[in-house]
Amino acid sequence: MKSDIKRNCFLFPGQGAQFPGMGKDLWETSSVVKKLFAEASEWTETDIPKLLFESGEDELKRTENTQIAITAVNLASLIMLKDEGITPDAVAGFSLGEFSALAAAEVLNFEELFPLVKKRGEIMAAAAERLSAGENGPGMAAVMGLAPEAVQELCEKSGLELYAANFNSPEQTVVGGTHEALLKGKEYFSTRGARRWIPLKVSAPFHTPLMEEARQEFAEHVRKLVFRDPKITLISNVSGKTVSSGTEAQELCLAQVISPVRWTTEEETILTLKTDICIEAGPGKVLSGLWKKTGSEVPCLNAGTLEEIENIRKSYSS
């Protein structure tokens, strides 16, 4: 019996949360997770357990590997929580994590989702290689100390090919742009109130218009699928708001490739839903860390390991 928890929201992490060996305790313990990984291996033509448990850090962080690996662990966490009787009332996912949210909301089933995520990873990896050819490829940087809205406005006024990409927290926004734009961006933002400018080691300017070619290629695969209406509340990266239909979810799935992740807006939406608890369903603690920066009293618990899931079960039964 739930104590005073009436409404939850599951948060699914994205690329960057991965680490070698993630999900192993879930796989060793649960026959349902074993079945999921076996089926996902068939659907993606990839040995998922080998990828998760035998890969080194460098192999795992390759985009084409990372995306199916994180999705597998996100969904393993989801089904383990469901086995404990803890089902999501609302879902949101950060970037790649939004695809796990689509599955949790039953917009796509697992068999549809895994091949799509694999294709997304391959397209993103190819785009990164194409864009980074030569010494002066585009990239990304974190802007610290300015509100997300201010960063976006400054990008738009800069006259540079510089775009807001991830609204991570009230004081941290990631921008993406061309090599020239990033070189000029540090001085541009520092003279307009930014506390720090941190170049990021990423392979491409994800979630910016510079990824348009990748969006077009991905569209060929997204359009082949039927996106169903969400069975539970689904929150979008692109709008930061709830998604009303499968048709809308499909369009947002494509727009996400070239649009910023409005995570701070999603967090605001989650709070308007009168959420009592958030659960980070997947590896790492990135999203729970970002949640703390909201200042909300609503807790965000981690559910990436067997021990963490057991602790959540106790929270529900106490």
pLDDT tens-digit series, residues 53-67: 999 999 998 999 999
**Sign of the Cα pseudo-torsion (245, 246, 251, 255, in order):** positive
Q: Start-end ranges of CATH 3.40.366.10 in the chain?
A: 8-131+209-317
The pLDDT tens digits of the residues spanning 228-238 come to: 999 999 999 99
The answer to whether the beta carbons of residues 177 and 208 sit under 8 Å apart is yes
pLDDT at 1: 36
Nearest Cα to Cα of residue 110 among 243, 255, 245, 225: 225
Catalytic residue (one of 95, 158, 169, 236) = 95
In the DSSP assignment, the letter for residue 227 is P
pLDDT at 188: 97
Residue 151 pLDDT > 90, yes or no?
A: yes
The answer to whether the beta carbons of residues 157 and 189 sit under 8 Å apart is no
Topology (CATH level 3) of domain 8-131+209-317: Malonyl-Coenzyme A Acyl Carrier Protein; domain 2 (3.40.366)
The verdict on whether 95 is a catalytic residue reads yes
The answer to whether the beta carbons of residues 42 and 110 sit under 8 Å apart is no
Q: What residues does 92 pair with on adjacent strands? A: 11
**Is domain 139-200 given the CATH code 3.30.70.250 in the classification?**
yes
Confidence bin at 133 (pLDDT 50/70/90): confident
The backbone torsions φ and ψ at residue 202, rounded to the nearest 5 degrees and listed phi first, read: -125, 160
The answer to whether the beta carbons of residues 8 and 276 sit under 8 Å apart is yes
The answer to whether the beta carbons of residues 13 and 287 sit under 8 Å apart is yes
Q: Start-end ranges of CATH 3.30.70.250 in the chain?
A: 139-200
Give this prediction's pTM.
0.95
Of 134-143, 189-198, 298-307, the range with the lowest mean pLDDT is 134-143
The verdict on whether 207 is a catalytic residue reads yes
Catalytic residue (one of 203, 207, 259, 288) = 207
